[in-house]
Amino acid sequence: MKALLQRVSEANVSLDGDLLAAISAGVVVFVCTEKQDSDEDADFFARKIANMRLFADADGKTNLSILDVGGEALVISQFTLAANWRKGNRPGFSAAADPDMAERHYEYFCKQLAVEGVAVKTGRFRSHMAVSLVNDGPFTIWMDSAEK
């Protein structure tokens, strides 16, 4: 499983000009399921993201989690995080999970993040969406379950 987290002051996602979801302060989580991923990977990522200290306290130190600040998560499925870009000029996506597995895993991850107490909003799986965000910092974290 791979995820790219971006701390944001606001973000939204639309499809064909229609707003699907919007958040204020929180994180945008671009998430990708790969063939070897399991529910345990999603559980680990949900716990980690809910508790990761990404937000500043009164002294300006990143000591607060999304739970501490009452932030929201906008979770977007993005299979392109599985891109193999090393050979040639066209990225390959053969490491990404098949769409059925990926959708199940995406929905499971979103549910687990909500179980952890995070307010979760989503895009639409397997859709060409427009994501807008204001990266706060910028503050971006790369996560790969192969590195846990």
Q: Which residues are catalytic?
A: 78-80
- Distance of alpha carbon 105 from alpha carbon 35, whole angstroms: 11
- Distance of alpha carbon 32 from alpha carbon 137, whole angstroms: 24
- Write down the residue that tokens 């600040």 correspond to: 69
Residues ≥6 apart with Cβ < 8 Å to 104? none
Coil vs helix vs strand at 41 = helix
- How many contiguous H segments (helices) and E segments (strands) does the chain have? 3, 8
Alpha helix (H) residue ranges in the chain: 39-51, 66-69, 99-115
